[in-house]
Structure 1
Amino acid sequence: MKINRNQFLLWFGAAISIAEIITGTLIAPLGLFKGSLAIIIGHLIGAFLLLLPASFIGGQRQQNAIELTRPVYGATGVLLFSILNVVQLIGWTGVMIANAVQSLQQLKLLKTSYLLDLLIIAGLIIGWLALKTQVFFRLNNLIVLLLVVACAGLFWQLGVLPHNPQQLVTQHISFGAAVELSIAMALSWLPLIADYTQHSKKPLTLSLWSTSGYFFGSLGMFFLGFLTVILTGYTDFNQFLAATHYGVIVLFIILFSTITTTFLDAYSAGINLKNIFPNWRLTPNTLGIGVTLLGLGLASSTQLFKYELFLSLISATFTPLYTVVFFNLLYRRLPKWLNFSCWLMGTVGYYGLQRFDFPLGTTTLLMLCIIGALFVSSYVTRTIHQSAQP
């Protein structure tokens, strides 16, 4: 039970981030009913249609997220996937650090320079990576519980502050695009979650706890950002934070929500680097510190706050990759060349399918198309194989 609680809080903490809140604000133009429905549907699909099977398969096979792809794509596929995943994790590390520092600067919470704020955030993440496992879980659980209380205070402020919904900027977003944003945030964790369930003796139970932790945490963050715009009219979440006058609490949320989320990105990037360079004797934690420093450099030199295109790129890359993995490991193994072809065509096809504005999101439509193509390919290859036998 303790392990389940640790995993639930680990993934609940991963979901508590400024990035999740900001993404929730983008859905506000749909209005209260449609926006709420889009957020809930997107989270159900992202958490239980994508994260849950990835987590369960990893625990069942005692393999991390990267190792699961080896029988499907071979050694070349594992290498390519590892490189792509390291790139996106370094990108997310930079995004998280940059978003946190932008909030600190805008709210003038520390009254220090941009560079010093960058170093403070990166230093705290590195300190988190340096913790021993037992100490980490105890401290992480405490911090996550405190973050829940702090975020509850922000929800309470939504009911206290003056409501000015007429200030809402009516930027257009379709229902399907709103669902897709919710799916994409969950999808960004798809190449990571099995890293934390691979040693489980009860993979389904642990996977349900992990997935549920992320689901409820992310749902709360999306609704915090979404309702901020709907109820107060603040399209910039930092403006709402300033209006609360919760200086110390806001500082705590910004600092530690960034740490609990970015730690997972950096640590999993370290695991991926071990796959790319198996002869390196450094631990994933040590490599994660290097990833944090790379993210620090990225955040110091680039404006990373508009990342909708980044989410689309992640969806285009990892949706077809893992749909093929699920099909091969749960239904029928197909030739590696065919799996590679479906991955490549799915990545290109994602952008073409965006034009249809599917109500359940482009990711869902792409998964359905790939599964259909794989079923047909499975039938054809089996027919050819049977006809070739004497």
Structure 2
Amino acid sequence: MATPVSSVGRDAAPTARDGDAPLTLTEPAPRPFGLRDVLGFWGNLGISLLLPVAASFVVLPGRPLWVSMAAIVVGAAIGSVLLGLGAAAGAREGVPMMVLLRGLLGRRVSYLPTALNLVQCVGWATFEIWVIAEAAARALHLPRWPFVLAAGVAATLMALRPLGAVRVLARYAVWAALACTAYLFVDVLTHPIAPAGSGGATSFWTAADIVVALPVSWFPLVADYTRHARGPRTAFTGATVGYGLATVAFFALGVLALSAYRAAGLDVIGALLAVPLGAVAVGVLVVVELDEAFANIYSTALSAQNIAARLDRRILAALVGALATLLAFTLDVLSYEPFLFLIGATFVPLVGVFVVRYFLVPRGAWDTSDRARARPVLLVPWAAGFVAYQLTLPSALAGAAAGWTAWWGRWQADLGIDPANGWSASLVSLVVAAALTAVVSLPAVVRRATPERPA
């Protein structure tokens, strides 16, 4: 059993005053979620309008449509299995993800990924609120700003009672979303599917990288929810299957909609709205989309508690919700693609480091307490994986940050790496980080496995 984050036992009765998730890290987490809850929740998170919007970055121009579809399946399989491994660890240890990283890096060193995750969560919450408002405004032909405000307020209110929100999403909202998704699929498939004329992917593996980035972006949050699952197997199965299937379905829906309505010159949202009764179906999906915004707001609050364990999550969630709503008024959606690449570049290698280290160490040796000792040496494989990612596929930043991309491009030239190599930056990064972690961890594993000689 892992060392708890406070003197309160992991299996003690919950003490949150509102009967929901603990208010601070000093309280234990209840475990009410069975397989149906975990499967429904992560399936619902995977049902997102952001995925069809990102589908244009997955399409391989001039290639048969099945190649893009295969890239979606491969990327979803890789990303969702990684997500499931993090989900299982969260259920086993019973703590949020950023606290779980104390066992990897130590308490104080875990503040580094915590800071990155705070930025990521606020960014994702902002994107989700923007997508909700944009789709609603276009469906109803109204200004966008009232929907930005409404979405921000609704998501924040859900984050105040997260376990109740998860139950509603898992047991009811997911079925409405599935019905609308099935309707959109049936209608899109009644149109001739034209070959892909244009798209953002340059190779099979760059397309798969975009898909991998979606489930991996949830890895730093996954234990925030699966710590409430009844067991690791339940958490792994629910997260992997639920999010994986939804990812395949929604990326495929976006690719098919682009192909079916390509002659009309419509983008993904425009194509879905062009479907008869499409506005109604998209409207339901817009409401369901609130779960992504809620999850990011709530997880930002939990991540902040890794640094300040006694802060009330409700106050933190209210502040984060207000910030994300304000940012959604000024969001530049063209930054979405490099944002996904940058997330992959940062968190894919960390996933590799975590998975190898966690499953190498003996059970019960994962210390998530305030006394977890620092392991800065594990920053080395994480950094090496990040470098490997950038050398394979530099994050394409724009504006004032464009020099970043050019700098990595010069390193590619110096090392003889073809910028159009077509490799999977995610897999290269993951393998480099995982291999170095195994090398760094080997002495400690051997030392623990060697029995002590009697005096």
* TM-score in terms of structure 2 length: 0.76
Matched-pair contact (CA < 8 Å) for 2:114–2:306: yes
Matched-pair contact (CA < 8 Å) for 1:16–1:261: no
Matched-pair contact (CA < 8 Å) for 2:109–2:374: no
Cα separation, partners in 2 of 1:145 and 1:227, compared to 1, 3 Å: same
Q: Select 1:249's aligned residue among 281, 292, 299.
A: 281
For 2:345 and 2:337, locate their aligned partners in 1 and report how far apart those are by CA, in whole Å. 12
Matched-pair contact (CA < 8 Å) for 1:20–1:222: yes
For 2:432 and 2:167, locate their aligned partners in 1 and report how far apart those are by CA, in whole Å. 41
For 1:208 and 1:262, locate their aligned partners in 2 and report how far apart those are by CA, in whole Å. 23
Deviation at 1:225, TM superposition (A): 0.3
Matched-pair contact (CA < 8 Å) for 1:97–1:299: yes
Give structure 1 stretches of 5+ with no counterpart.
none
1:137 aligns with 167
Matched-pair contact (CA < 8 Å) for 1:168–1:229: no
1:92 aligns with 124
For 1:382 and 1:135, locate their aligned partners in 2 and report how far apart those are by CA, in whole Å. 41
1:371 aligns with 434
Deviation at 1:381, TM superposition (A): 8.0
For 2:95 and 2:161, locate their aligned partners in 1 and report how far apart those are by CA, in whole Å. 24
Matched-pair contact (CA < 8 Å) for 1:358–1:365: no
For 1:225 and 1:197, locate their aligned partners in 2 and report how far apart those are by CA, in whole Å. 29
Q: Select 1:264's aligned residue among 290, 295, 298.
A: 295
Q: Which moved more, 1:225-234 or 1:185-194?
A: 225-234
Q: Which moved more, 1:171-180 or 1:4-13?
A: 171-180
For 2:228 and 2:200, locate their aligned partners in 1 and report how far apart those are by CA, in whole Å. 46
2:345 is the alignment partner of 1:316:
yes
2:117 is the alignment partner of 1:78:
no
Matched-pair contact (CA < 8 Å) for 1:25–1:228: no
1:173 aligns with 202
For 1:84 and 1:77, locate their aligned partners in 2 and report how far apart those are by CA, in whole Å. 12
User: Paired residues, what number?
Assistant: 379
Deviation string 1:113-156 (CA, Å, 9 cap, x unpaired) is: 22212112112212323447347513652121101101111101
Deviation at 1:104, TM superposition (A): 2.8
Give structure 2 stretches of 5+ with no counterpart.
1-31, 366-372, 394-416, 451-455
Cα separation, partners in 2 of 1:2 and 1:169, compared to 1, 3 Å: same
1:28 aligns with 59
2:235 is the alignment partner of 1:206:
yes
1:104 aligns with 136
Matched-pair contact (CA < 8 Å) for 1:18–1:257: no
| Higher RCO by CA contacts (8 Å cutoff, separation 6 or greater) | 1
Deviation string 1:84-132 (CA, Å, 9 cap, x unpaired) is: 1011000001111112222233x2x334322212112112212323447
Matched-pair contact (CA < 8 Å) for 1:39–1:222: yes
Q: Select 1:39's aligned residue among 72, 87, 90.
A: 72
Q: Select 1:128's aligned residue among 158, 179, 182.
A: 158
Matched-pair contact (CA < 8 Å) for 1:26–1:226: no
Greater helix content: 1
Deviation at 1:16, TM superposition (A): 1.1
Matched-pair contact (CA < 8 Å) for 1:169–1:235: no
Matched-pair contact (CA < 8 Å) for 1:59–1:199: yes
Deviation at 1:231, TM superposition (A): 3.0
2:380 is the alignment partner of 1:348:
no
